[in-house]
């Protein structure tokens, strides 16, 4: 009986260890007025950490009048109209936001499955049920690892998006 309890404890610990919590997007505005985004609070400079805001979604950046003016009025020697580029970036932001929302739904589903599995683990009787439970735990852990890979891929895409936005704004 102690062995079964130990296995249950171990399985529950693996489930909890396999989840890292909800993905968060942090944003802050630097001294130059540029809003910066990251998925890692430790990458926010210490001087901005108190003002950094966390959310589960990519925040919508408000349109700035100077961005529109720069994009629509090229000067002598400047590059042509960049409004198309900004429109493309807005479309990309919406795509990333949709991916993030889908990933959040997947996370919530995994958490529900985990809770059900924990409850089922409390009612195991016999080696056969323990083995079946362990297989379910392994299957859920596999799903959690797949979720983590998707989350990391999305975070990389968000970082690329942020770098492109910074480059666009710096070039104006």
Question: What is the reported pLDDT for 104?
Answer: 92
Question: What is the reported pLDDT for 61?
Answer: 46
Model confidence pTM above 0.85: no
- The structural domains of the chain, with segments of one domain joined by +, span 2-171
Distances (CA, A) of 167 to 22, 29, 139: 29, 16, 42
Question: What is the reported pLDDT for 172?
Answer: 65
Question: What is the reported pLDDT for 36?
Answer: 77
139, 151, 41, 54: CA torsion to nearest 10: -100
Question: What is the reported pLDDT for 114?
Answer: 93
Percent of the chain with pLDDT over 90: 30
- Strands, sheet with 53-55, edge to edge from the N-terminal-most edge strand: 35-38, 25-29, 53-55
User: Distance between CA atoms of 49 and 42, rounded to whole angstroms?
Assistant: 8
- CB 94 within 8 Å of CB 135: no
- CB 96 within 8 Å of CB 158: yes
> Could you give the residue ranges of the DSSP H alpha helices within 20-82?
46-49, 65-72
User: Distance between CA atoms of 64 and 56, rounded to whole angstroms?
Assistant: 24
Q: What is the pLDDT of residues 119-167, one digit of tens each?
A: 988 888 889 998 999 999 999 999 999 999 999 999 999 999 888 888 8
Compute and round to an integer the Cα radius of gyration of the chain.
Answer: 23
Residues of the chain with pLDDT under 70: 1-23, 56-83, 172
Give the pairing of strands 53-55 and 35-38.
Answer: unpaired
- CB 133 within 8 Å of CB 140: no
Backbone angles phi, psi at 60, to 5 degrees: -80, 125
């Amino acid at each position: 009986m102690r062995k079964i309890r130990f296995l249950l404890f171990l399985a529950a610990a693996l489930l909890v260890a396999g989840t890292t919590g909800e993905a968060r997007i942090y944003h802050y505005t630097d001294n130059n007025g540029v809003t910066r985004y990251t998925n890692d609070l430790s990458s926010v400079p210490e001087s901005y950490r108190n003002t950094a805001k966390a959310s589960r979604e990519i925040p919508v950046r408000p349109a700035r009048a100077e961005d529109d003016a720069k994009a629509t009025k090229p000067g002598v020697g400047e590059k042509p109209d960049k409004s198309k580029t900004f429109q493309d970036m807005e479309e990309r932001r919406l795509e990333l936001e949709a991916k993030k929302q889908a990933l959040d739904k997947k996370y919530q589903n995994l958490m529900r499955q985990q809770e059900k599995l924990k409850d089922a683990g409390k009612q195991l009787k016999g080696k056969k049920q323990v083995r079946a439970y362990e297989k379910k735990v392994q299957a859920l852990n596999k799903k959690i690892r797949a979720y983590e890979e998707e989350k990391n891929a999305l975070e990389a895409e968000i970082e690329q998006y942020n770098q492109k936005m910074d480059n666009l704004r710096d070039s104006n």
